[in-house]
Amino acid sequence: SGMHARKDHPHIVKVIEYFEDAESYYLVMELCTGPDLFTYIVESMQAPGGGGFLPEREVSVILRQCLKAVLCCHGNGFVHRDLNAKNFMFTGSDRTLKLIDFGLAARFRGLLPQARLLEVVGTSHYMAPEMMADGQYSPAADLWSLGVLLYVLLTGLML
């Protein structure tokens, strides 16, 4: 995607190579050994002594990484349109999060500030109200999705 043509970002999965043939497109991407954020939240909250929630300090570290990835997307003229706990993946034991799955991403740069993308896509529990109501989508809807993710991180209530 065009987003991956931009410079590397520490919180966005890297595309290493791209191929295509008459029938398919192929992406070779950076290995993220996981888990995804959804699995991490569930496992952390079920762990003995976990208390059923993540500590606020850890939530802050996680959310900061998510925000940096989304701000990079927006700064490069893209909306992700499917931000949720399953689309952030840990690279390994160092706890670095990467935003993955740009299959629904859309370009918005060049549109007027009041312009909206008109298409209902994404994970319903994370969708902004305006998207559910009439399919309008702007970069602000990605921020709504991050707010839902923050709620999940702080409460442990999985949506």
Which of the residues 8, 21, 82, 134 is marked catalytic?
82
State how far the Cα of 60 lies from the Cα of 82, in Å rounded to an integer. 21
Three-state secondary-structure class, residue 27: strand
Kindly report the number of other CB atoms within 10 A of residue 129's CB atom.
9
3-class DSSP state for residue 138?
A: coil
Output the DSSP codes for 53-97: S--HHHHHHHHHHHHHHHHHHHHTTEE-S--SGGGEEE-STT--E
Residue 103 CA, distance from chain mean position: 11
82 noted as active-site residue: yes
Residues comprising the chain, all counted: 159
Q: Rounded to whole angstroms, how far apart are CA atoms 143 and 32? A: 24
Give CA–CA dist 18/74, Å, rounded.
23
List residues with catalytic annotation.
82
